[in-house]
Amino acid sequence: MSFVDGPVLAVAIDPGRLAAGIVDSDGEILVRDRVSTPPREVWRSLETLVSRVLAARPDDLPPPISVGVSCAGPLDLAAGSVTPELMPAWIGFALRDRLELLTGLPVVLDSAAGAAAEAERLFGDATEVRSFLTLMLGRTVESACVIDEVRLRGAHGNAGSLAHLTVEPDGLTCTCGASGCLSAYASSTSIEAEIKRPLRRATDSIIDRTGIMIGRAIASSAAMFEVSTFLLSGVVLDTFGDPLLESIRREVDLRSQLAASEKLRVLESSGFIRSLVAAASLPRSIDT
């Protein structure tokens, strides 16, 4: 059975928002809805949202034939379960089984950054690039890595994650308990907790420091994975804009002195893959 010959029910879950929609095989979102992620009873909210989206399908649109779901990491792809950062209500939550039971459809689960990477390969900036890393700077830091057209997954599906890479020895305490992780400097949650004001009111020095920390993570992973294309997205990039990109590039230049790093590219994900389109690409990615 092909997963690509019909609409996909797309579900995208992060600590701030639950989104669901019906996406056709061209990547067009035909029905969509979303709610804020509640602190408790997350599944009940998601169940209601998904049922509402399925009920809103126009009569002339065939029903979805599969489900693609992306969730903030970390997750366990073998078990089909998720333990998203900043969502304490879900610890080892059996998301794939629950969605299969709810919809009666085959469900493909991946991390938010993994879904973005698959979508970039199918629709976005990375269709011509064999190796790249996606880095999403949102409420959490999410990343995924593709090398020679192969997605790194690891034992549980979290390989290529840069969130807890040390970028500042003895630095700020991270939510994971360690010090100096990228996540403690580059997620909107950690920045706002530190400056005690909204992201858009961050000072130039905070923006510069954020760029330096991201640049360190990029330079280290470029050296390790031999990846030269980094696709950045997320609310931190959207809010800080060009000054952040300039700081990142300056730090990457400073720290990447290897010959292979000469063509290191840091790109804003201009092909803007919305989270629902990314989730909808998951059934398609395993079909191709």
Interface residues toward Zn ion, by CB under 5 A? 164, 174, 176, 178, 181
CA angle 113, 15, 165 (to 5 degrees): 50
Smallest gap, in angstroms, from Cβ of residue 222 to Zn ion? 21
Nearer to Zn ion, 91 or 178 (CB): 178
Nearer to Zn ion, 178 or 224 (CB): 178
Smallest gap, in angstroms, from Cβ of residue 281 to Zn ion? 29
DSSP 200: G
Q: CA-CA distance, 211 to 219, in Å (whole number)?
A: 12
Smallest gap, in angstroms, from Cβ of residue 96 to Zn ion? 26
Closest CA to 86 of 168, 156, 13: 13
Q: How many CA atoms lie within 13 A of 187 on its CB side?
A: 25
Nearer to Zn ion, 45 or 175 (CB): 175
Nearer to Zn ion, 101 or 178 (CB): 178
Closest CA to 6 of 78, 63, 68, 72: 63
Outline where 77-196 has alpha helix (H): 95-103, 112-123, 183-186, 188-195
Smallest gap, in angstroms, from Cβ of residue 161 to Zn ion? 10
Smallest gap, in angstroms, from Cβ of residue 217 to Zn ion? 12
Q: CA-CA distance, 117 to 134, in Å (whole number)?
A: 6
Nearer to Zn ion, 192 or 238 (CB): 192
